[in-house]
Amino acid sequence: MNRYHAQYRLFLVCFALVSTFFCQPIFSQGTMSLGGYVMGRGGWNTSFTALSRGEFAFATLPDLGIEGTYTINSKKDAAVMVSVGVGNVAVRSLSFDPFSGRSTNEFMINVQALCLSGKVGLRFYRFLNIFPEFALFFRGNIPLNMRYDATVDVFNTTTDVAASDGTLRQYTLPQDRLQTFMELGTEIGIITIPIGDGRLSVYLQGGLAMTQLVKMLPLTRIPDNFNIVGKDPLAGLRTLNVQPVSVGLGVRYALDIL
């Protein structure tokens, strides 16, 4: 975790420098907008072992939420943004033969997680005269429910649930095993269309989860088909936890209210 903590600190420093450089706060001259967004998202699982890899997966439901912004400089081309909504995380991992590079049926997991999400960040308009919008943000996610299809039950190993024929079985992760996770992310506006007193924006978004979604508990049994190495009895399972990188395409409408 030290590496992730260092990344957090580096991002905070960069975030503060960008804020100071671009934004001379003149709140009395600011404008406020409020609107909503919808975004389709997918992602990869960045938790790997020597015998597993991640593949892209689409979330079955879109992200939905409301967002407010407040401009913080005299040119009104930089704003603080705050949003709250529901997010959907999707990842897929599968086992493969490192020699042939082909997938195998020894392990497979498809995850769909529903989260309550809150985001805070900075958005820049007409950024460097290249992008209509560019944003940096932190997003906190509180998982509400997670369902996964797997050849083995990765997180509940009190019984042998391995499917020798490679058939996927669906499980619901217990609520007490889900944990809040933070993301670092960015948005790039593709096109912005003025509509009345507001604007419609189409944007791309990317996010990197800094922590994993599942709290690992002591095991009563280690599945035979997991390659456990080192002194940590959870070493092999930790690397199969869910830690997604996500990308999304969204549409947002913001109405100026002040």
Whole-angstrom Cα distance, residue 97 to residue 100?
6
Q: Where do the H-state alpha helices sit in the chain? A: 2-22, 235-238
Q: Where are the alpha helices (DSSP H) in 110-178?
A: none
Prediction pTM value? 0.76
Q: Is 52 left (phi over 0), alpha (psi -120 to 50) or beta?
A: beta
How many Å apart are CA 153 and CA 176, to the nearest integer? 16
Number of C-alpha atoms within 13 angstroms, CB side, residue 123? 25
- What is the CATH classification number for the domain harbouring 46? 2.40.160.20
- Are the C-beta atoms of 244 and 44 separated by less than 8 Å? yes
pLDDT value at position 157? 44
Residue 152: count of CB within 10 angstroms of its CB = 22
Which pLDDT score is estimated for 17?
57
What are the CA-CA distances from residue 165 to residues 42, 162, 168, 210, 227 (Å)?
Answer: 28, 9, 9, 34, 19
Range of the domain at 135: 2-256
Domains in the chain, number? 1
Answer yes or no: are the C-beta atoms of 49 and 227 closer than 8 Å. yes
pLDDT at residue 72, as a whole number = 87
Buried (b) or exposed (e) across 119-141, using 16+ Cβ within 10 A?
Answer: bebbbbbebeeebbbbbbbbbeb
Written as tens digits, the pLDDT of the chain (258 aa) is: 455 556 666 666 666 555 555 544 444 457 899 999 999 999 988 876 666 777 899 999 999 999 999 998 878 888 999 999 999 999 888 777 777 777 776 677 788 899 999 999 999 988 888 889 999 999 999 999 888 777 665 565 444 444 455 566 666 777 778 889 999 999 999 999 999 889 999 999 999 998 888 887 665 555 565 555 555 666 666 667 788 899 999 999 999 887
Q: Is 77 helix (H, G, I), strand (E, B) or coil?
A: coil
d(CA 207, CA 241): 17
Q: Which residues lie across from 57 on neighbouring strands?
A: 43
- Which secondary-structure segment (H or E) carries 17? helix 2-22
The token pair at 188 is: 């790039």
> Three-state DSSP class for 12?
helix
